[in-house]
A and B are shown apart, each in its own frame.
Chain A
Amino acid sequence: MTARFVRLAETDRPALTLHVDGAPVTALAGDTLMVALLTSGATLRQSEFGDGPRAGFCLMAACQDCWVWTEEGTKLRACSTLAESGQRIVTTEPDTTWPNQQ
C-alpha cells in the first residue's frame, strides 16, 4: 500500500523493524508508531461506524483517532507511542478482545 506520510529530513537515524498486520515494516529510531505505520501504509484503523478508514488527526494525543492494537489486544495510541523493534501491531481489532485469558 502506498505511504501516506512523506519523510522530508532526519533520515539518517538507525532503522528498526516491526510487524504491522503480520508484515515486516522498516521504521527509524525516534519514529512514533503513527509515522512508522503511515510511512509504510495509508491508514491506521477502520471507523467502528462504517464510514471508512482513519489515519489519525491531531498528532498530540487529544483526538484519540489513532489507537491501534498489539496482536495480544493491548491498545496503543499511535501518535504518542514510540515505534520499537519487534513490536507486532494490528490495524483491526484482534480476536482476543473477549475470551477470558486464562
Chain B
Amino acid sequence: MTAPILASATPAPALSAQSLSAPSLSDVLIIGGGIMGSAAAFFLRQRGLSVTLLESDLVGRQASGTNFGNVRRQGRPLYQLPLANRAMAIWRNTPALLGTDVEYLQRGHMRVCYRDRPDTAASMEAYAADAARFDLDLEMLSGNALRARFPFLGPEVLAASLSAQDGHANPRLAGPAFARAAQRRGAIIHENCRAIHAGKSGDDFTVTAADGREFRAPTLLITAGAWAKQFVEGFGETVPLTSRGPNMCVTEPLPYAIGPSVGVATPETLESVYFRQVARGNLVIGGSLQNQTFPDAYRVYVKPDNTLGQWQQMQRLIPAVARLNIIRTWSGIESYLPDSQPVMGPSGSVSGLFYAFGFSGAGFQVGPGVGETMAELIATGRTDIDLSHYAIGRFADVR
C-alpha cells in the first residue's frame, strides 16, 4: 500500500491509522518499534519481504528517543566495530535513505581521562592501536595540543582520544524517521498496539495484541528493548534483562563552538558524564547515575540528586558549564544485560525467531547497522557480522 510521503499536501494519518486495512499475515512480524525494529523493518522492505511492526506506544519514544544521541564507534569492544562501521555508513547516508534530516553531525567523538587516572590514558592508547585495524582512526591528544584545540576542557583533564569520523544525531527524530521510511516502502506499522502474547504453532508465529487483534508470520523478530523478557521467556529461553533510565539534561542555546561530543572515560559511573552541542546551540548533557524505571507505566522519573551529581561532575569536565542554565531534564527506559552486550541473532531454541534487544545504553549508533544485519540474516540466513558475542545462549545457565 502507498504510505504518506513527506511534504504531501494532504494530512497523513497517524501511523496506526492503517490498522483496519492491515493484513494479519506477513513475512516478518516485529515486536518493538525502537530504532532496532524500525531500521529492521526498513531494510527488510528493501529486501522485498513484507513486514508488520507492532509498537506498544509510539515508535522511537523510549531508549531510542531519549538517549544522548552519540553516533560513536570509539569505546566499543573491538569485536563490535564491524557492526558499528556498517551502521556508520548508513548514518552518513540517512538524508538520502530516509528523505529527512535526523541532524546527524559528523563532528567527532572524544573520550578524555582525568589526571588521577593515568592508567586510563594508557588503555585509551592501547585501544587506539587496536582499533586502527578496524578502520577506526583515533588521535591521541594531551598537554598544550589538547588545550589549544579544546580550550573549554577543565584542568583535571589529562589526555584525550579523538575519533574525527564519529559524531552525533537527534534521537527524537532518528527512530521515527526509520519507521516512516519503512512505512513508505510498504511496511505496516501499528502504534499503540501492545503485544501481550507471542507463540508458535505449526510454521507460523501468532502474536496477540491487548486489543484482541492477532498477527501471524513465519518469522518473528523481538526488538522490544526493556519489554523483551516476557516474550523470550514465553519461548522457554532465559535472559537476565533489567532496565535503567539515562540521566539527561539540556542547556539553553549558546553560540556554536564545540564540535565533537565529549565524554569522560572512567570506571566510576558517577564520573562518567558526557556532552555534545547541537547545531542550534544547546548543550545536551548525559551520564553519571541512572534513574529507576517503571516499564509497565512507560515512565521514568528523573531523580534530583542524580541531576545535581551530574552537574557537579560536568564542571570538572568543562568548567564553563557552571554559568550555563539547564532548561530541562529527561530520561527513558533502556534495557541492560550483565555483560553490557546485547542479545542479537537467532533464538537458541525456536526456528524463525530472532532477537535484537538489551543494548545496554549503547544501541543508538549501531541501531541502523543492527536493522540491516537482522534483515540480512532473516532474508538470507546468514551475515558476515560476527554475532557470536551476542547469543542468547550465553545466559542459558543463568538462573
State the A residues within 8 Å of B (CB).
48-49, 64, 67, 73-75, 93, 97-102
State the B residues within 8 Å of A (CB).
147, 151-155, 252-255, 257-258, 280-281, 318-320, 323-325, 327
- Whether the pair B258, A98 counts as a contact (CB closer than 8 A) is yes
- Whether the pair B320, A98 counts as a contact (CB closer than 8 A) is yes
- Whether the pair B280, A75 counts as a contact (CB closer than 8 A) is no
- Whether the pair A99, B281 counts as a contact (CB closer than 8 A) is no
Among B152, B252, B325, contact of A98 (Cβ-Cβ < 8 Å): B152
> What is the distance, in angstroms, from B309's C-beta to the closest C-beta of chain A?
21
Among B154, B253, B254, B280, contact of A100 (Cβ-Cβ < 8 Å): B154
- Whether the pair A93, B255 counts as a contact (CB closer than 8 A) is yes
- Whether the pair B281, A48 counts as a contact (CB closer than 8 A) is yes
- What chain A residues lie within 8 Å of B153 (beta carbons)? 100
Assembly CA distance A98 to B154 (angstroms): 11
A-B CB proximity, top 4 nearest: A48-B253, A99-B151, A98-B152, A98-B257
> What is the distance, in angstroms, from A46's C-beta to the closest C-beta of chain B?
12
- What chain B residues lie within 8 Å of A75 (beta carbons)? 323-325
Among A49, A64, A93, A101, contact of B254 (Cβ-Cβ < 8 Å): A93
Among B147, B155, B254, B327, contact of A97 (Cβ-Cβ < 8 Å): B254
| Further 17 A-B residue pairs, CB within 8 A, beyond A64-B327, A97-B255, A98-B258 | A48-B253, A48-B281, A49-B253, A49-B280, A67-B252, A67-B325, A75-B323, A93-B255, A97-B254, A97-B323, A98-B152, A98-B320, A99-B152, A99-B320, A100-B319, A101-B320, A102-B155
- What chain A residues lie within 8 Å of B320 (beta carbons)? 73, 97-101
> What is the distance, in angstroms, from B249's C-beta to the closest C-beta of chain A?
16
- Whether the pair B255, A100 counts as a contact (CB closer than 8 A) is no
Assembly CA distance A47 to B333 (angstroms): 34
Assembly CA distance A67 to B324 (angstroms): 11
Q: What are 22 A-B interface contacts by the 8 Å CB criterion? A: A48-B253, A48-B281, A64-B327, A67-B252, A73-B320, A73-B323, A74-B323, A75-B323, A93-B254, A93-B255, A97-B254, A97-B255, A97-B257, A97-B320, A98-B152, A98-B258, A98-B320, A99-B151, A99-B320, A100-B155, A100-B318, A101-B319
Assembly CA distance A100 to B323 (angstroms): 11
- What chain B residues lie within 8 Å of A102 (beta carbons)? 155
- What chain A residues lie within 8 Å of B258 (beta carbons)? 98
- Whether the pair B281, A100 counts as a contact (CB closer than 8 A) is no
> What is the distance, in angstroms, from A50's C-beta to the closest C-beta of chain B?
11
Instruction: Tell me the nearest residue of chain A to B257, going by C-beta.
Output: A98
- What chain B residues lie within 8 Å of A93 (beta carbons)? 254-255
Assembly CA distance A101 to B324 (angstroms): 14
> What is the distance, in angstroms, from A30's C-beta to the closest C-beta of chain B?
26
- What chain B residues lie within 8 Å of A74 (beta carbons)? 323
Assembly CA distance A55 to B143 (angstroms): 44
- What chain A residues lie within 8 Å of B151 (beta carbons)? 98-100
- What chain A residues lie within 8 Å of B319 (beta carbons)? 100-101
Instruction: Tell me the nearest residue of chain A to B323, going by C-beta.
Output: A73
- What chain B residues lie within 8 Å of A67 (beta carbons)? 252, 325
Instruction: Tell me the nearest residue of chain B to A102, going by C-beta.
Output: B155
Instruction: Tell me the nearest residue of chain A to B318, going by C-beta.
Output: A100
